[in-house]
Structure 1
Amino acid sequence: MQSDGITPDTVTPDTVTPDTKDWTWVLERPCPECGYDAAAGDPLAVGDVTRGTLPRWEAALARADVAVRPAPGVWSALEYGAHVRDVFRVFDGRLRSMIEENDPQFPSWDQDATAVAEDYAHQDPEVVAAELVAAGAAVADRFDAVGTDQLDRPGRRSNGSLFTVRTLGQYFLHDVVHHLHDVRA
């Protein structure tokens, strides 16, 4: 079911250039694009900050032009919203594994392949908004349950990037906030 004003012809068919950057540098310095300083974030406030982004995401996903790409090769607010919903889900699983396991290696997640396979561009924005809010609340709750004695528990991506629960939360928040900047919300 399409929302008012959103039809398949309002979504441009161009492909998006995959983002191959290793964004772990945001743990060392503020992001020059969005201005977010991940390293300055309180690792015990990740849940609250995440919840604070949810109304902004809902508003972005309620826009009449939600499925329109602002430029060739750039995701629409709908595609970014679907991506952030999945970021919430992926990081919820990663955080759970870091708390429950000893130094887990996270399964690979190709965000660009997921966007194509799940057809982000044609998902229903109302459904995406509801799923994003639910997934955001779930990962926020999981971050809320982290104790100070768990902040240094390790985990690693398949490419070898090492995280602690602390840095995973900081890295995660940058992703969520950065994409709000991308959609101007």
Structure 2
Amino acid sequence: MGLCLDCEYARHVEAKENSVYFLCERSLTDPTFPKYPRLPVRQCLGYVKDSRGTFATDPPRRLKLITGAPVSWQFGESQLIRLKTQLASVEFVFGDANPKRIDRRPAPGKWSARENLAHIGRYHEIFLERLHRIVTEPSPRFARYRAEEDPGWQEWASRPVEEVRTRLAALRLNLVDKIVGLQPREYARVGIHSSFGEMTLSLWLEFFLVHEAHHLYVILQRLRER
């Protein structure tokens, strides 16, 4: 698309089949400028960088222009599906679990299945707090989360497994509502992780889901290992 992508006089036009055009507003008063420039435009005497940053500084909208995908694509369909369904494995795994195995630790310092589930629940609270800061503060910084240094983790770890599951389910519904309700301009916001550096909300969500999947796998191990 070239210069039209962030030109003050270019106006985006969406056509059928995800085609992208730009109307050159200079053409309305100066016939030497084409009404619909052939893309990409590499050189243009009338180019003026858009001071509002309409396309250049709005990555989600820019992504939509480039790919034809909706703004929510930045989170990805797979991420939304996993966010809504990944915890279904809790019901499946705990459904026929031997009660004696739920609190069994395989070795000193290793968490039981219940403690891993409690960690998932507590991290929902941590992630919701971080999500709020990312959408309300400019590039907030976050230290690596360590459960052993978190008083809130001890409170979660002391609760019976059924209560943990109930609280976790409520937090998940809250998180899904928060993610689905994000405004397009918020998708491009970033938070800075002490180990992984600057991450977009999309990457933070992926980090959250992968971290959760790891602990779900450990829960399966704890409940099934001999």
The 1:49–1:164 alpha-carbon spacing in structure 2 relative to 1, beyond 3 Å, is: same
- Residue in structure 2 matched with residue 43 of structure 1 by the alignment: 75
Residue 142 of structure 1 and its aligned partner are, at CA, apart by 1.4
Task: Check conservation: 1:85, 1:131, Cα contact below 8 A.
Answer: yes
Query: Residue 88 of structure 1 is aligned with which of 124, 141, 147?
Result: 124
Matched, 1:129 2:129: no
Corresponding residue SS for 1:162: strand
CA distance in 2, matches of 1:69, 1:48: 32
Give deviations 1:89-123, integer Å, cap 9, x for gaps.
Answer: 11111112111222122366431223796155542
Query: Residue 101 of structure 1 is aligned with which of 123, 134, 137?
Result: 137
CA distance in 1, matches of 2:74, 2:215: 20
Aligned residues: 145
- Residue in structure 2 matched with residue 183 of structure 1 by the alignment: 219
Q: CA RMSD in A?
A: 2.8
Structure 1 gap ranges (5+): 1-40
CA distance in 2, matches of 1:170, 1:160: 13
Matched, 1:138 2:174: yes
- Residue in structure 2 matched with residue 52 of structure 1 by the alignment: 85
Residue 147 of structure 1 and its aligned partner are, at CA, apart by 4.5
- Structure 1 or 2, whichever has the larger Rg, is 2
Structure 2 gap ranges (5+): 1-72, 222-226
Corresponding residue SS for 2:191: strand
Matched, 1:167 2:203: yes
Give deviations 1:39-79, integer Å, cap 9, x for gaps.
Answer: xx972443431221222224445531211113343211110
> Which range moved further: 52-61 or 168-177?
52-61
Residue 163 of structure 1 and its aligned partner are, at CA, apart by 1.6
Larger relative CO (CA 8 A, sep 6+): 1 or 2? 1
* TM-score where L is the length of structure 2: 0.55
